[in-house]
Structure 1
C-alpha cells in the first residue's frame, strides 16, 4: 500500500495533525492528551517562535488514513550555531517505512537550507514537549511530558540515530518534615547572602515578577542542551499562556536585597487525569475536570525551576528547594513529579537527594541525533 506525505497548511488538516495521537493512544492508560487549543496556539504563527524559525508540518497517509505525523523546525539561532534541524510532535504506527518517511521528509525539506544534522524530539523551546520516552512506560505522563510507545526508540536507532542527551524525571513522596541540616543551611544562606523568599499574595504580583522569572530562566538554562534565549515576545507569550493557570501558593521566588529575582520555581497541581477525561477539549466539560483537579489535588507537577548562575554557588539552589519542600509540607502535598532534568545537570539532581528515600519512580527520555 502506498504511503504519502502531506504538508499541513489548513486548520482542518492541522486539527487532524494534533488529534492523530489521540487515536493512536486511545487504549493507553498512561498517555495524557494535550489541550487542542494550546496545540493550535503552539503550531501556528500565534506562537512568536514562528518569527525566528522555519517550520514544516507533515502527515503520513496510507490509503487516506493517517499513520504518522512530524514537525520539522529550523531555529534561526540553532542553524547559525550548529546547523541542525530539529524534529518534534512525532508519532507513528509501528511500521518503519512510516517513521523513515517522516524523518526523511524533514531531512529533504531542511537540506536546501544547508542543514547538516537532525535531532529530536524537540519543540521550539524547553517549554514544549521534548525527548523520547525510553524508561518508565508504566507511569502516567504529566501535563508537560511526552508519552510514547517503546518501539519509538527502536525505530530511531534503526534509522541511524544515536544518543544526544538524556533527561530524567523523578517521582516521589513528600517527606513529613525537613531535616535539621536543611533548615540550618537555609537560615545561614538567607543571612549571609541577603536572600529571601518572596511571599506571593496574588496572581497580579506573580506577573509583576514575570520578566525577572524568565530572565532567570534564560540565564540558568543557557548551557542546557537545545536551549536558546527566549525573546521578549516569547516571554510575553508564555506569561499570557501559562501564568493565568498557576496557583500563587505554588510559585516560589527568591530575591536579593535589590528585590531582583535570582531563583524561581513553578509547580502545578497534576492535571493528567483531568486531561484524560477532557480528551483535549475545554468544553463542554473539560474545564470542569481541570478546575476540580486544580482545587482538590495532593499531587504536584514541577513545571520549571531556575537559578541565576551567579547565585548557584551562593546557596540559592538549596534555598529554593527548602522553600519548595516547606510549602509542600504546609499544603499537605503527598506526591511530587519533578520537571525533566538533564542527566548531567548535577546541580539540580543533587537537590533531589532529600527525596532519596522517598523516590517511587525514575523516568528517562532521550534526544536522538544524526548527521544528514
Structure 2
C-alpha cells in the first residue's frame, strides 16, 4: 500500500500528530513521552507566541488510514535574521522504519521550504532554543529526559541515506554528585562574591521569585546568544515561558545570583528531580491518573536530578560564578539523596561549559545531532 502525505489542518488531526510517537514507542523502556496538551499548545498558532516570528506546516504520513510518520516544517525568521541565513527547520519528526515513508515526509518539507525561498533544511529543531532539538545518535540504551528527544537507532541511518550531514552535535553527561562541595569551589565562591559584589538568592514562595523571573530570561537571552540557532526571546515569549515554568519549579533547586548594587541577575541555575519515569506512567496525559506520579516525583527525594537551565551573563563568564551555583545546589542534591545529575544537551564545541564538570566524576552517555541538507 503506497504512502500518502496529508497536511494537518484541523485540531483533531493535530492531536493525532501529537499522539503518534506515544503509539510508536509503546513499550519502549527508554522513550519518555511529553504531555499531549502542552505539545498541542506549542504547535498551535493562536497560543504559542513564537508564531510572531515563525511559520510552520505539519504533515502526517499514512498507509491507508494508518498513521506511519509525522514531521513539522518550521521557518524561524528571527533566527534567520540573527544568523544571516535562509534556512528552514524540520522537527517533531517520527516514523516507522520504512524508506518510502521517510522519503515522502522529508520530500514534502523540502518542497515547502524551497517554495518559501529557503536554501537549506536542518534539524530536528523547534521554534525556539527551549524546544526539543537534536536527533539521538548515541545512547539508545539510556532513558530519555523531559528536555530531550528519544528516537530509534534507525532515524540517523535514514538521515544519512537521504544525504543529510552533520551540522552540529550536542553531548550529554551523567554528573555524579560528590559527597561534599569541592574545596576549590568553596574558595572560589567566596572570592567571587566579594570581588564582584554578588549574592545568592533563594526563594520560599513562588510569588517571591516573580520579580526576578523576567530578569532570568533576559540573562538567558544574553548568555545564549552564541548558541546554535538561537534568537532572543521576545517579551511575549518570556511571559509564555514564565507561565509554563514557574508552577513546576522546586524552589530549593532554583538559584539566582544577583549583583548587590543594582539587583541585576548575573547568573541562575534551575534543576528538577528527574521526571522520566513519572512521564512514562502518565503516557502523555495528566488525567485521570498522570497528575499523581508527576506531583510525587516533583516533591520527593530523587536518585537523578535534571539540570534544565543555567546561564551567566557574558561579562561574568569564566570568572568563577558557576562556583556560586555549585556551592548552593550541591548540598540540596546531597540532601535529596541524588546519585547523579543529567546535564541535558551541551554543544560539542562549548568547551567552557563542559570544563565546569572537570572537578566531578562524569560519564558521556548520550550524543545527538542536528542534520542539514542544502536544497
- The equivalent residue for 1:266 is 270
Q: Give the secondary-structure state (helix, strand or coil) at the position aligned to 1:244.
A: helix
CA distance in 2, matches of 1:324, 1:147: 28
Instruction: Please show how residues 1-372 of structure 1 align to structure 2 within 5 Å.
Output: 1-45=1-45, 46-80=47-81, 81-257=84-260, 258-298=262-302, 299-355=304-360, 357=361, 359-372=362-375
Q: Give the secondary-structure state (helix, strand or coil) at the position aligned to 2:357.
A: helix
Q: Structure 1 residue 180: deviation in Å?
A: 1.5
Q: Give the secondary-structure state (helix, strand or coil) at the position aligned to 1:71.
A: strand
Conservation of the 8 A alpha-carbon contact between 1:304 and 1:339: no
CA distance in 1, matches of 2:350, 2:44: 32
CA distance in 1, matches of 2:27, 2:258: 46
TM-score normalised according to structure 1 size: 0.97
Q: Count matched residues.
A: 370
Runs of 4+ in 1 over 3 A off after TM superposition: none
CA distance in 1, matches of 2:312, 2:60: 39
CA shift digits 1:164-223 (9 cap, x unpaired): 111111113211012211211111111111111112221112221111100011001001
Please, which runs of 5 or more residues in structure 2 have no aligned partner? none
Q: Structure 1 residue 268: deviation in Å?
A: 1.1
Q: Structure 1 residue 327: deviation in Å?
A: 2.9
> Once superposed, what is the RMSD of the aligned Cα atoms?
1.3
Q: Structure 1 residue 29: deviation in Å?
A: 0.3
CA distance in 2, matches of 1:267, 1:343: 21
CA distance in 2, matches of 1:263, 1:341: 17
CA distance in 1, matches of 2:351, 2:257: 21
Deviates more, 1:32-41 or 1:308-317: 308-317
Conservation of the 8 A alpha-carbon contact between 1:169 and 1:364: yes
CA distance in 1, matches of 2:336, 2:65: 51
Q: Give the secondary-structure state (helix, strand or coil) at the position aligned to 2:358.
A: helix
TM-score normalised according to structure 2 size: 0.96
CA distance in 2, matches of 1:190, 1:369: 43
Deviates more, 1:166-175 or 1:17-26: 166-175
Q: Structure 1 residue 307: deviation in Å?
A: 0.8
Distance 1:172 1:314, change over 3 A: closer
CA distance in 1, matches of 2:120, 2:311: 29
CA shift digits 1:116-147 (9 cap, x unpaired): 00100000112111100011111110111100
CA shift digits 1:218-255 (9 cap, x unpaired): 00100100111101000000000111110111111111
Conservation of the 8 A alpha-carbon contact between 1:79 and 1:115: no
